[in-house]
Amino acid sequence: MRIGFFTDSYFPEIDGVTYTIKLWREALEGEGHEVYVVYPDGDYAPSDRELPVRSVPNPFYPGYRIPLVRRPSTLPELDIVHCHGPATVGRLGRYYAKKRDLPSIYTHHTPIEEYFYQNVRFEAVANALKRLYVPVETSFLRSFDVVTASTDRIDRDVPHVRLPVGIDTEFFSPTAKDWYPDRTVIGYSGRLSMEKNVEEILRVAETLPEHEFVIVGEGPRRAWIEGNAPSNVEVRDFLPRESLPVFYSSIDAFVTASTADTLGLSPLEANACGTPVAAADVAPFDQTIGSANGRRFEYGNLESMADAIRACLDSTSDPRAAIDPYDIRHTVSNLMSIYDGVRSSPDHAPTVSADLELADE
């Protein structure tokens, strides 16, 4: 099968969408399929079957780019179109599928409207932008044969299939190497941006001076976080992906206060390495984090956050066993079922097989 991934986010920018596309592509190509990735160009040399679209820097979100246009006639012949974003490249994919009468899939990765609240000074303006934006994206999603999302809630009035993007549990597994053998360390790894609320980790670290915290990542909030980190917080550069299993295995608990994730890959990667996760009691963590793989806390409540971290440090559960439903093998198997079903009939009602009930608090 010749599959086209159309994405508005890709290398060299590092985020969950980028790694998901890379992981899905490798898994699908490992099963003999051809996967083409259409993406905004940038400081990145494309490999085989990576097709850049001319783009310009995004003035509102540093590090990302705004794709412009590419003629559909320059794209290869595909059997199925799978879009991963609602901007220009995603719309190029939908146009390509419509013109060629191909089945089209959309995976909802990011609640774009949440970024309005992080980047617009006035809440009333952010609310107005959300009211304008969400119906536009909803209408776009309704034009696809199938919409998938990692959890049950995507805040869009469209039918969708729950399909977690998945993690590579062979790569993310406990390691013998331990960077902090004689220390109790609470860690975070991810993008350092407004919506990740990393400042909450700094605040809780001040209430837990007996513990060390290590924050790993890059992003527009990096300088602020470094400048405001208490003495028991170390801020490290973004780690190469091959080093992440060692980091996750070395820390005693992973903590996140993000309120804008659709699945939260880093927490589940930490779980796969045997590390419990303290996460805000918001979507998606109210569905992915429970007593079997961590604890949840009330967002903004430092006492609740500190209690969740302590509970993780005292936990004797096996987080790795708890997140087996999120293994990439299940994701790709279900994805192929969706592809085969929608190719056989546009009216096919796709289903997935994995049991994903984790949260129990």
- Return the CATH number of the domain spanning residue range 2-166+327-344: 3.40.50.2000
If one compares 67 and 323, the residue with the highest pLDDT of the two is 323
Q: What are phi and psi of 248, to 5 degrees?
A: -60, -40
Which tens digit of pLDDT belongs to each residue from 86-144? 999 999 999 999 999 999 999 999 877 776 666 677 778 777 888 888 899 999 999 99
Helix (H) or strand (E) holding 147, with range, is strand 146-149
CA–CA distance, 39 with 342 (Å, rounded to integer): 24
Taking the alpha carbons of 136, 139, 145, 149 in that order, is the dihedral positive or negative? positive
Which tens digit of pLDDT belongs to each residue from 62-76? 666 877 878 899 999
Contact between residue 327 and residue 169 where contact means Cβ atoms under 8 Å apart: yes
177 DSSP 8-state letter: -
Range(s) within the chain of domains with CATH label 3.40.50.2000: 2-166+327-344, 185-322
Which tens digit of pLDDT belongs to each residue from 22-31? 999 999 999 9
Q: Rounded to two decimals, what is the model's pTM?
A: 0.84
- Return the CATH number of the domain spanning residue range 185-322: 3.40.50.2000
